[in-house]
Structure 1
Amino acid sequence: MTDTTDMPATGPWRQRWRGSGFEAAKRILFLSFLILAMMIPLGMVEGVVQERSARKMEVGAEVGEQWGPVQAVSGPVLVIPYDELEMRPNSDGTQALTRTRHFATFLPAETKIDAATKVEKRHKSIYEVLVYGAAIKMSGRFDAPDFARWNIPEAQVHWDEASLALLLPGARALLSIDLTVDGKGLAVDAGLLPQHPRGQGLRADLKLVAAKPIDFTIDLTLNGRDQLSLWPLGGQSEIAIASDWPHPNFIGSPLPKEREIRKDGFSGHWSINHLATGIPLAWRDGEFSLDTGVLNVVGVALTEPGDVHQQTDRIVKYGMLVVALTFGTIFVMGLLKRDRVHLVQYLLIGAAIALFYLLLLSLAEQMPFGFAYLIASLVDIAIVAIYAGATIRRAVGLLTGIVLAALHGYMYVLLQMESYALLSGTIGLLVILILTMVATRKVDWYAIGDEPGLVPVKTD
């Protein structure tokens, strides 16, 4: 017979009853559900960050409307009208000579552009926008316009109706311009005509007498924001940009041939041949269209390395990792100390972690990001550690606070990295996994939920 009365759980025929591990699986599934549920508040915080970032972009556009837009400037383009003669039949069977107006476009053989910008910070509400004032000096030379390549006699060319066109979409922020051709100043008018390249810009009438080389200089000053771009139009374009802003992002293709970045500013130099741009030096209407929407540009964007919204957004993306490791620390300590943590305790600790990111964003908009991160981290660590110590166990609160402090410190270090962020993050996760394995190496997962006491034994 079998007796299950009080008997010691020892002896060759006596074995302790153990669970099948269902309790461990249930706790782990419960923990996984809680971690996934935290995606909801973290997603809401990320939405707030993106909303504030979008608002900053709107403010930047508003300031741009008042100060100056993103600027792009080209060198001059020479446009000369000419007539094509053609015999056409009349209704009575006779033929008459007709003239059709066409236009030929020429680019400079050489163009040199020197641009210097002075960057300022403009504030609107709590947002900061980078703007600049630019002084641009252009010089170069047109070869003598050659109509012989198209078998057009010079007598059919309207030299006195020639004009220069300058592509400048942000002309409304132009402060001054001085155009000189062969040592003679020309009057500049607003807007481009249908025969000019498509886009917005300025023009000047150029009354030529015959085919000859043309030397030009253009000095202009304008306001802009965020970036300055230049279109390399010409046989050989030498472009130089200098600024007092130490955080450039060189844009377009190709990248500068030479560049120098200093604490007090930067400089860059491009040398571009028209063969690399795919733009011919001369064409007639219908043969080629100079469309600013598809032209390659070179230039520089003014980046702001301490942008609080970008950094906060990067930190929020690590939120699930912070939640998982914090909950995991409490879970493992509960296994080792045989503590049971209620759903409400997990949720309150998770809410404190989610509010850390919201507190960080609100503080970073008012002060330097480093100080904001330090204050928000200290508040978050204190809340979680004190609450866990008071409601679960003092050792749990202490260890959770240490883990959370290490995570916040590690996340901040990752923020400062660019090239090695992925490598450092992967190594960090590997170290965390190893520490978790070490901490749980003696946990009997099948015995979780069992209580020592009476167990069934087998007797004769």
Structure 2
Amino acid sequence: MEHTSSNNQGSRFGNWLKTSITARMLMVGLLIVVLLIPLAYIKSLIAERAGRQQEVITEINEKWGEEVLIYGPILKVPYKTYVETTYTDQETKKVHTERKEKIKYGYFFPESLDIMGSVHPEPKSRGIYTTAVYQSESTLTGTFANLDFTEESVAAEDIVWDKARMIIKTSNLKGVNDEVAVNINANRYPFSSVYEGNKNQNNYYNPDFVQMHTLRSIALKEADSPKERSIRFSIDLNVNGSKQIRFIPIGKETTANLTSNWKTANFIGEFLPVNPDKITDEGFNAKWKVLDLNRPFAQQTFNYLPDLNEYASGVNFMIPVDEYQKSERSAKYGFLVIALTFLIFFLIQTLSKISIHPFQYLMIGLALTMFYTLLISISEHSSFLKAYLIAGVAVILLITLYSRSILKNIKFPMFILVSLSALYAFIFTIIQLESYALLVGSLGLFFILAIVMYVSRKIDWQNG
């Protein structure tokens, strides 16, 4: 009797699972939760592949040369200061004053600075990953005049003109191709690198941090220093680099002109080009003009050289690779795709009284998750659009053919084909949009909800 009772209870429970709308809803909800697990693994796979891409790009850039950031030229002029100390002789009780000399430095920016640069980018690939590197040829010309020591009350005879040097700070020493020297009048003063230790090691975890290195010229002849008159300088700087090229507008009047055959220029920084015709059919020809009134720092500083990287401007040459970003955004809609697809099958099952087994729901859900692995793997070798089309068509056909064997007729599978096509097209549209993504997504979901409410009005929920 007990065995018969157990069989009857199991039979009643099985019948409840088959006939109850509530049971089917619980089962579908549970399967959706279960399928969130492979979706989470897919998101981690996308992040892993994007991280691998960044590692390869960083390795290529390190070997070729990192970004080029030019800060200079700067005139470094030593001057004498004096410190007086007073002490009393214990034996004679006389008061003595001792005067000690101490050398300090003033750093002066150019009166005018003109930067002429030509950049020749080219793609570099390793495996399936590609980045942009370039060769740059720059000429820096300008003048130094009216060095103002009044801030420190320095007497004219205490300025050590014969020890003055020109310095340039740059982010990329590895990429320098030729000797760097400053030409003043008929004299040429070569630069050499200066080891300053690892002063900024605490900033390595800052993604915006740029390690700067110092190039220092030999001492200028007194006749080539702006002691009594202005001097004009010229510096050629040829550097291999990657990512971007930038300059800091330290001249009282800074003008810059960068040209390149790169057609997808992205101008970055504190100041943008002033010419409206900067983008051409052959590439770009960008011009900047920055006055000292446009930026919040003076033309000279004493005893230290400030960090002015935040005021740099220039051009970014990174190849816009957003396949992983788009794949990640697609995966974020995975829950919505699975839930809406299961809802379609649930409504078909409920309205047509066709039985769909939980295992069949699970197979459909796994097919939906396979879309994302196909998408990321194909997009690594092709464009995102082609990858989305191939993955979408493959998954939609697979589910349509599978539903044909479940639903026994052609009407419902064709409805599923149209519904899934519209759903994937809707998701693709949202991914492509930026400013209107939220608006379009909200209107689309509202439209879907209205359709579901209209279709489900005929379901007798009281008997579920």
Alignment TM-score, normalising by the size of structure 1: 0.84
Residues 110 and 252 in structure 2, CA contact (< 8 A), matched pair in contact too: yes
Residues 141 and 233 in structure 2, CA contact (< 8 A), matched pair in contact too: yes
Partner of 1:12: none
Check if 1:222 corresponds to 2:239. Answer: yes
- After superposition, the Cα gap between the structure-2 partners of 1:38 and 1:185, relative to the gap in structure 1 and judged at 3 Å, is same
Partner of 1:405: 421
Deviation readout 1:278-298 (Å, 9 max, x if unpaired): 22111221xx54125x64221
- After superposition, the Cα gap between the structure-2 partners of 1:119 and 1:419, relative to the gap in structure 1 and judged at 3 Å, is farther
Q: What is the CA–CA distance in structure 2 between the aligned matches of 1:318 and 1:74, rounded to whole Å?
A: 46
Structure in which a larger fraction of residues adopt helix: 2
Partner of 1:300: 315
- After superposition, the Cα gap between the structure-2 partners of 1:236 and 1:403, relative to the gap in structure 1 and judged at 3 Å, is same
Q: What is the CA–CA distance in structure 1 between the aligned matches of 2:151 and 2:230, rounded to whole Å?
A: 17
Partner of 1:388: 403
- After superposition, the Cα gap between the structure-2 partners of 1:249 and 1:37, relative to the gap in structure 1 and judged at 3 Å, is farther
Q: What is the CA–CA distance in structure 1 between the aligned matches of 2:238 and 2:143, rounded to whole Å?
A: 21
In the TM superposition, what are the counterparts of 1:273-292 in structure 2 within 5 Å?
Answer: 273-285=291-303, 289-292=305-308
* Consecutive unaligned residues in structure 1, runs of 5 or more: 1-18, 449-460
- After superposition, the Cα gap between the structure-2 partners of 1:37 and 1:192, relative to the gap in structure 1 and judged at 3 Å, is same
Residue 38 of structure 2: which of 41, 47, 50 is its match?
41
Q: What is the CA–CA distance in structure 2 between the aligned matches of 1:241 and 1:192, rounded to whole Å?
A: 30
Q: What is the CA–CA distance in structure 1 between the aligned matches of 2:191 and 2:339, rounded to whole Å?
A: 65
Residue 203 of structure 1: which of 216, 219, 243 is its match?
216
Residues 131 and 318 in structure 2, CA contact (< 8 A), matched pair in contact too: no
Q: What is the CA–CA distance in structure 1 between the aligned matches of 2:158 and 2:407, rounded to whole Å?
A: 96
Deviation readout 1:402-443 (Å, 9 max, x if unpaired): 222222223333333333333222222222222222222322
Q: What is the CA–CA distance in structure 2 between the aligned matches of 1:266 and 1:420, rounded to whole Å?
A: 30
In the TM superposition, what are the counterparts of 1:337-416 in structure 2 within 5 Å?
Answer: 337-394=352-409, 395-416=411-432
- After superposition, the Cα gap between the structure-2 partners of 1:118 and 1:417, relative to the gap in structure 1 and judged at 3 Å, is farther
Q: CA deviation at 1:306?
A: 4.7
Q: Percent of pairs identical after alignment?
A: 29
Residue 137 of structure 2: which of 120, 135, 152 is its match?
135
Partner of 1:433: 449
- After superposition, the Cα gap between the structure-2 partners of 1:37 and 1:116, relative to the gap in structure 1 and judged at 3 Å, is farther
Q: Which amino acid aligns with 1:437?
A: M
Residue 50 of structure 1: which of 25, 47, 51 is its match?
47
Deviation readout 1:185-206 (Å, 9 max, x if unpaired): 2211112669xx9941311122
Q: What is the CA–CA distance in structure 2 between the aligned matches of 1:156 and 1:114, rounded to whole Å?
A: 36
Residue 76 of structure 1: which of 73, 78, 84 is its match?
73
Residues 75 and 111 in structure 1, CA contact (< 8 A), matched pair in contact too: no
Mean Cα displacement is larger for which, 125-134 or 239-248?
Answer: 239-248
Q: What is the CA–CA distance in structure 1 between the aligned matches of 2:319 and 2:196, rounded to whole Å?
A: 39
Mean Cα displacement is larger for which, 364-373 or 344-353?
Answer: 364-373
Instruction: Quote the RMSD (CA, aligned, Å).
Output: 2.6
Q: Which amino acid aligns with 1:420?
A: Y
Residues 246 and 264 in structure 1, CA contact (< 8 A), matched pair in contact too: yes
Residues 24 and 446 in structure 1, CA contact (< 8 A), matched pair in contact too: no
Q: What is the CA–CA distance in structure 2 between the aligned matches of 1:208 and 1:295, rounded to whole Å?
A: 34
Q: What is the CA–CA distance in structure 2 between the aligned matches of 1:190 and 1:147, rounded to whole Å?
A: 27
In the TM superposition, what are the counterparts of 1:289-328 in structure 2 within 5 Å?
Answer: 289-292=305-308, 295-328=310-343
Q: CA deviation at 1:262?
A: 4.5
Q: Which amino acid aligns with 2:221?
A: K
Q: What is the CA–CA distance in structure 2 between the aligned matches of 1:415 and 1:324, rounded to whole Å?
A: 19
In the TM superposition, what are the counterparts of 1:126-205 in structure 2 within 5 Å?
Answer: 126-176=128-178, 177-191=180-194, 199-205=212-218
Residues 131 and 319 in structure 2, CA contact (< 8 A), matched pair in contact too: no
Q: Which amino acid aligns with 1:28?
A: M
Check if 1:244 corresponds to 2:247. Answer: no
Q: How many residues align?
A: 424
Partner of 2:252: 235
Partner of 2:84: 87
Q: Which amino acid aligns with 1:73?
A: I
Q: What is the CA–CA distance in structure 2 between the aligned matches of 1:316 and 1:137, rounded to whole Å?
A: 48
Alignment TM-score, normalising by the size of structure 2: 0.84
Residues 192 and 199 in structure 1, CA contact (< 8 A), matched pair in contact too: no
Residues 107 and 305 in structure 2, CA contact (< 8 A), matched pair in contact too: no
Q: Which amino acid aligns with 1:382?
A: L
Residues 247 and 303 in structure 1, CA contact (< 8 A), matched pair in contact too: no
Q: What is the CA–CA distance in structure 1 between the aligned matches of 2:333 and 2:341, rounded to whole Å?
A: 13
Q: What is the CA–CA distance in structure 1 between the aligned matches of 2:282 and 2:38, rounded to whole Å?
A: 42
Q: Which amino acid aligns with 2:349?
A: G
Residues 180 and 217 in structure 1, CA contact (< 8 A), matched pair in contact too: yes
Q: What is the CA–CA distance in structure 1 between the aligned matches of 2:299 and 2:33, rounded to whole Å?
A: 61
- After superposition, the Cα gap between the structure-2 partners of 1:49 and 1:281, relative to the gap in structure 1 and judged at 3 Å, is same
Q: What is the CA–CA distance in structure 1 between the aligned matches of 2:336 and 2:136, rounded to whole Å?
A: 45
Find the residue that maps to 2:215 and give its secondary structure. Answer: strand
Check if 1:447 corresponds to 2:458. Answer: no
Q: CA deviation at 1:124?
A: 0.7
Partner of 2:106: 104
Partner of 1:116: 118
Q: CA deviation at 1:384?
A: 1.0
Q: Which amino acid aligns with 1:41?
A: P
Q: Which amino acid aligns with 2:34?
A: A
Residues 249 and 312 in structure 2, CA contact (< 8 A), matched pair in contact too: yes
